[in-house]
Amino acid sequence: MKRNFFKSQHLLLASALLVAFSFASCSGGSGSGGGTDSTSSSSSSDALIGAGSTFDNPLFSKMFSEYNKINGLKVNYQSVGSGAGISQLTNKTVDFGASDAPMNGKQDSALAAPALHIPVTAGAVVLSYNLPEIKDTLLITPSVLADIFLGKITKWDDPKIAAINKGVKLPPTGIVIAHRSDGSGTTNIFTTYLSKVSEEWSSKVGKGSAVNWPVGLGGKGNEGVAGSVKQTPGAIGYIELAYAIQNNMAFAKIQNKSGNFITPSIASVTAAANITIPADSKISLTNTDAPDGYPISGFSWVLIYKEQKYNDRSADRATKLLKLISWVIHDGQQFSSALNYAPLSPNVVSVGDAILKSATFDGKPILQ
Average pLDDT of adjacent 10-residue blocks, the chain of 368 residues: 42 39 33 35 74 95 97 96 95 96 92 96 97 94 98 98 96 97 93 98 96 96 94 97 92 97 96 93 95 97 98 95 98 96 95 98 95
CATH fourth-level superfamily of 5-123+298-365: Periplasmic binding protein-like II (3.40.190.10)
Q: What is the pLDDT of residue 32?
A: 31
Tell me the C-alpha distance between 167 and 269, whole Å: 29
Whether 336 contacts 342, CB under 8 Å: yes
Q: What is the pLDDT of residue 46?
A: 83
User: C-alpha angle 120/63/315, rounded to 5°?
Assistant: 75
Positions of E strands within 102-216: 115-129, 139-140, 176-180
Q: What stretches of 150-235 show up as alpha helix (H) in DSSP?
A: 159-163, 185-197, 199-204, 221-231
Structure pTM?
Answer: 0.83
C-alpha to C-alpha distances, 347 to 9, 11, 119, nearest whole angstrom: 36, 36, 11
Q: What is the pLDDT of residue 14?
A: 42
Going from N- to C-terminal start, the domains of the chain cover: 5-123+298-365, 124-297
Q: What is the pLDDT of residue 16?
A: 40
User: C-alpha angle 3/120/348, rounded to 5°?
Assistant: 135
Tell me the C-alpha distance between 81 and 255, whole Å: 28
Smallest CA-to-CA distance from 282 within 259, 269, 270, 298 is with 298
Q: What is the pLDDT of residue 33?
A: 33
Whether 180 contacts 218, CB under 8 Å: yes
CATH of domain 124-297: 3.40.190.10
Q: What is the pLDDT of residue 41?
A: 52
